[in-house]
Structure 1
Amino acid sequence: MLGNLGLLAGLALLIFMALRGVNILIASLLCALVVALTNGLLLPKTLLEFYPFGPLGAFTFAGKFFLLFLCGAIFGKAMATSQAAKSIALAITRSLGVKRTLLVGMIVCALLTYGGVVVFVVVFTMYPLGITLMREANLPKRLWAAATSVGAGTFTMTALPGTPSIHNVISASSLGTDLFAGGWIGIFAALIMAGLGMWYVEHGWRKARVTGEGFVENAQDRRMEQLIGDQADAPPWQMAIIPMAVVLGTIMLPRLLVAIFDVSTSENLFAELLRFSQTQPIVWPSIALVLGALTCAVIFPSMRRKLGQVFGQGAEDSIMPLINTAAVIGFGGVVTQTAGFGHFATWVLGLDLPPLLSVFTSASVVSAIVGSSSGGLQIFMQTLAPHYLEMGVSPEILHRIAAIASGGLDSLPHCGAVIATFMIMGITHKEAYKDMFAVTVAIPVIACLAAIALLMVLGIS
């Protein structure tokens, strides 16, 4: 009983401290200690093994995925410094117009994140541009936060095949699949997320116009707006999309070639390279991201002049997202050592549910506990995924359904991405979380359940 109360207390404390702005490293460690002390775990083992270096330790995760975070951050920095990301945003804005401000925000964020730019870079890049759009359209900021989150934090993060997102890579590296696993069902879920998400925010905007709610500027907006710079400095959009095309092309072309040509018995260098691309779900996307960053340096003179500085800043920018995610996983690593987590695993696996609904339940709950979709997915893959494979769930379907499920209940109030988005925009949970909950929790849950229902109707598992 005490152990279970300790688990609940640790989770409640983690949520409380995250909402109060306490550093996640400190919060996760303190909450891990609460869990350990109430569950009879030895402190030396907790602090020196379970939290940092166990199978789900913080630095076990950080070591495994360091390369991907590093290369993703460097590519994001290159796209931001060269103003290629801004160029793409401006081009879409000119094409769709201010009346389509919400659609602009969603499409630009979706395009950038699917192309390999990390979520935090996208949000930070888009918000200064969004201020002008929101002011002209008299759009409430809470709806801009929701629309950009639809694009950056839902379907491109977990559902669409081929993306070098951390969720796609975690699933592929754990299950031995590739980044395109379960692609068609992922596209089905993505259409639901994008369609319902945009319907929700557009409906919210219509209601806001009726009630007279509009854009309210604050001091944060004035500071962020200074980051826009001169629009004339941005490269043509046709050039700006080339680095993203290089990233996606590097990931997708080998898959296409393997589907066309049988290279299983070939011994030449080309065949070896194709086989390497299919068996390295961490290294190959990282190579693609580096090639994208180098492409920025080749085609944008402003980047070429400060290549070392940009790569160095990108490397620095990768550290905190990596460590913050790792810290959440370290907390989860302690939780998984408790009897309470074992009881949860036994309970969820013993439920009289179809296997895919059980996958949804377990992946969702674990992600909710740690407030991180990537952290929850990694814990799920290490602890529960083998049981579902034994039940007969195919690795490809498990890859995609677990990834989509992890991106629902993760976005509770203590989610780091939610907190960072609100911080960048200078708004509070009270002002904007209702809309964020609708598009990043409720709608992804609906999409995942709809995907599972379709699979069950088709008799696929």
Structure 2
Amino acid sequence: MLGNLGLLAGLALLIYMALRGVNIFIASLVCALVVAVTNGLMIPRTLLEYYPSGPLGAFSFAGKFFLLFLCGAIFGKAMATSQAAKSIALAITRSLGVKHTLLVGMSVCALLTYGGVVVFVVVFTMYPLGITLMREANLPKRLWAAATSVGAGTFTMTALPGTPSIHNVISASSLGTDLFAGGWIGIFAALIMGGLGMWYVEHGWRKARATGEGFVENAQDRRMEQLAGDPSEAPPWYLAVIPLAVVLGVIMLPRLLIALGDWSTSDSLLAETLRFSQVQPIIWPSLALIIGSLVCLVLFRGMRRKTGQVFGQGAEDSIMPLINTAAVIGFGGVVTQTAGFSQFAQWMLNADLPPLLSVFASASVVSAIVGSSSGGLQIFMQSLAPHYLEMGIEPEILHRIAAIASGGLDSLPHCGAVIATFVIMGLTHREAYKDMFAVTVAIPVIACLASIALLMALGMG
């Protein structure tokens, strides 16, 4: 009884400390100690094994995925510094017009994140540009936050096949699948997330206009707007999209070549490269991101004079997202050692639920506990996924459904990405969380359940 109360207390304290802005490493370590003490775990093993270096330890995760975070951050820095990301945003804005401001925000964020630019870079890059759009359209900031989150934090993160997102890579590296696993069901879920998400924010904008609610500027907006710089310095859009196309091309080309021919018996360098791409779900997308960064250097002359600075800052930018994700996984590594977690796992595995619904519930709850979709997905893959494979779920289906499920309840109020988005935009949970909940929690849950229903109807679940 005390152990279960300790688990709840640790989770409640983690949520409270995250909302109060406490450093996530300090918060996760304190909460891990609360869980350890109330569950009778030895403190030395908690601090030296379960939290940092066990199978679900913070630094076990950080070591495994360091290269992907590093390459993704460098690519994001290259796209931001060269102003290629800005160029793409401006081109889409000119094409769609101010009256489609919400669609502009969603589309640009979706394109950039699907192309490999990390979410935090996209949000930080888009907001200074978005201020001008919101002012001209008289759009409430809470709806801009929701629209950009639809593009950057839902379907491109967990559902669409081929993306070098950490969620796609975690599933592939854990299950031995590739980045395109369960592609068709991912596209189905993505259409639901994107369609319902845009319907929600557009409906919200119509209601806001009817009630006289509009854009309210503050001092932070004026500071952020200065970061947008001079639009005339941005490269042409047709050059700006090339690095994104290169990243996706490097990831997708091996899959296409393998589909067109049998390379299993060939000893050529091309055949070896194709086989390497299929068995290296971390190294291959990392390589694609670095190639994209080098393309930025070739295309954008201003980048060449500060190559070392851009790559160095990108490397520094990778540290905090990696460490923050690792911290919540370290907390989860302690939680998984408790009797309460074992009881939860056994209850879920033995529950009278269809296997895919059990996957959805398990991945969702674990992601909710740690407030991180990538952290929750890693914990799920390490602790529960093998049991679902034994039940007969195909690895490709488990890959996609677990990834989609992890991107729902993760976005509760203590989610780091939600908090960071609100800080960047100068919003509070009271002002904007209702809309964020709708597009990043409720709608992804609906999409995942609809995908499971379709698979079950087809006899695949």
The amino acid that maps onto 1:304 is R
Cα distance in structure 1, aligned partners of 2:386 and 2:350? 15
Alignment of 1:50-89 (within 5 A): 50-89=50-89
- Displacement of 1:319: 0.2
Matching residue of 1:188: 188
Residue 372, structure 1, aligned to residue 372, structure 2: yes
Residue 38, structure 1, aligned to residue 38, structure 2: yes
Residue 94, structure 1, aligned to residue 90, structure 2: no
> TM-score of the superposition, structure 1-length normalised?
1.00
Residue 355, structure 1, aligned to residue 373, structure 2: no
- Displacement of 1:268: 1.0
Cα distance in structure 2, aligned partners of 1:223 and 1:20? 24
Alignment of 1:27-176 (within 5 A): 27-176=27-176
Cα distance in structure 2, aligned partners of 1:73 and 1:290? 10
- Displacement of 1:321: 0.3
Cα distance in structure 2, aligned partners of 1:116 and 1:50? 32
Cα distance in structure 1, aligned partners of 2:351 and 2:416? 31
Matching residue of 2:247: 247
Give per-residue Cα distances to partners, 1:141-160, cap 9 Å, x unaligned: 00000000000000000000
The amino acid that maps onto 2:163 is T
- Displacement of 1:261: 1.1
Cα distance in structure 2, aligned partners of 1:140 and 1:57? 41
Alignment of 1:319-398 (within 5 A): 319-398=319-398
Say which SS state the counterpart of residue 414 (structure 2) adopts: coil
The amino acid that maps onto 1:248 is L
Cα distance in structure 1, aligned partners of 2:130 and 2:351? 46
The amino acid that maps onto 1:198 is M
Cα distance in structure 1, aligned partners of 2:206 and 2:51? 48
Matching residue of 1:449: 449
Matching residue of 1:401: 401
Cα distance in structure 1, aligned partners of 2:66 and 2:44? 26
The amino acid that maps onto 1:390 is E
> TM-score of the superposition, structure 2-length normalised?
1.00
- Displacement of 1:266: 0.6
Cα distance in structure 2, aligned partners of 1:333 and 1:265? 42
Residue 280, structure 1, aligned to residue 280, structure 2: yes
- Displacement of 1:427: 0.6
Give per-residue Cα distances to partners, 1:280-337, cap 9 Å, x unaligned: 0000000000000000000100111111100000000000000000000000000000
Say which SS state the counterpart of residue 264 (structure 1) adopts: coil
- Displacement of 1:245: 0.5
The amino acid that maps onto 2:336 is T
Matching residue of 1:416: 416
Cα distance in structure 2, aligned partners of 1:368 and 1:271? 42
Say which SS state the counterpart of residue 180 (structure 2) adopts: coil
Say which SS state the counterpart of residue 330 (structure 1) adopts: helix
Matching residue of 1:303: 303
Give per-residue Cα distances to partners, 1:103-142, cap 9 Å, x unaligned: 0000000000000000000000000000000000000000
Cα distance in structure 2, aligned partners of 1:384 and 1:218? 46
Say which SS state the counterpart of residue 267 (structure 1) adopts: coil
Cα distance in structure 2, aligned partners of 1:420 and 1:269? 45
- Displacement of 1:274: 0.4
Cα distance in structure 2, aligned partners of 1:219 and 1:175? 48
Cα distance in structure 1, aligned partners of 2:145 and 2:229? 22
Matching residue of 2:270: 270
Matching residue of 2:312: 312
Residue 437, structure 1, aligned to residue 440, structure 2: no
Say which SS state the counterpart of residue 241 (structure 1) adopts: helix
The amino acid that maps onto 1:315 is A
The amino acid that maps onto 2:297 is A
Cα distance in structure 2, aligned partners of 1:10 and 1:454? 37
Matching residue of 2:18: 18
Cα distance in structure 1, aligned partners of 2:220 and 2:338? 43
- In the alignment, structure 1 segments of 5+ residues that lack a partner are none
Cα distance in structure 1, aligned partners of 2:303 and 2:144? 30
The amino acid that maps onto 1:76 is G
